[in-house]
Amino acid sequence: MTRPPHRIALLNPNTNTATTTLMTGIAQALCPPKVEVQGHTMMLGPSIITNEAALDAAAKQVVTVGVGLASAGADALIVSAFGDPGLMELRDRVDTPVVGIAEAGMAEASEGGRRFSIITTTPDLDASIRSKVALYGHDDHLASLRISEGDAFAVMSDEARMSAALISIAQQCETDGAEALLLGGGPLARAAKAVDNAIPLPIIEPVSAGLRQALVALGLSTPFLEKRSEMSLS
């Protein structure tokens, strides 16, 4: 009898279905055979998470939906927003492995003790991101947190503008002593290739990092886990 595939549930903490499709596709492209990534968009909450109030609202939805998915048989859960909303509470509520893309991304970015910079588009989440850096034990590895100027909604709604904004602040990170760059957001994956082409530093895309950590948690040994490069997009 053929074993059913491992099912990894990717939870998009916002209500944007296009973002869910983007992140699910990125994760699925990295999976070995018999592993299926199923994307889940929150029905309530913000369409984009740009401040701490939105992060808190998203956390409640993530926990509710995540508990249901774990009960329904998901083999692993990925909280796919850079604030990792609801991550710790969800871990307390389920036995299923739960991965946060910020936690996974920071772990990869600091691999081998290297210093890294985070680049993102949400100025109102500055304090929240720094608190996650401290929570996950990376204070000594953070070279800088660089945030693009302008309204986050406007910047992120235009891929070309978002890419240009991220490249601009990524160039500043080269003078901050960064040895790697971490994209600070799931939707920013759309700009990953553009940033990688423009900047000589290794780029860590957090959705891919989250998927890799989920595979490790499931005990799946596969060539897809061999990090031949920091970039993970096809």
pLDDT of residue 233: 44
User: Which residue segments constitute the domains of the chain, with CATH numbers given?
Assistant: 6-101+207-225 (3.40.50.1860), 103-206 (3.40.50.12500)
pLDDT tens for each residue of 178-206: 999 999 999 999 999 999 999 999 999 99
pLDDT of residue 4: 61
Max alpha carbon distance in the chain (Å)?
Answer: 57
| pLDDT per 10-residue tile (average), the chain, 234 residues | 79 97 96 95 92 95 98 98 97 98 97 96 96 98 96 90 96 95 95 95 97 94 42 43
pLDDT of residue 153: 87
pLDDT of residue 191: 94
Q: What is the pTM of this model?
A: 0.91
Which pair of tokens denotes residue 4?
Answer: 């059913």
Amino acid identity of residue 79, one-letter, is V
pLDDT of residue 21: 97
pLDDT of residue 3: 54
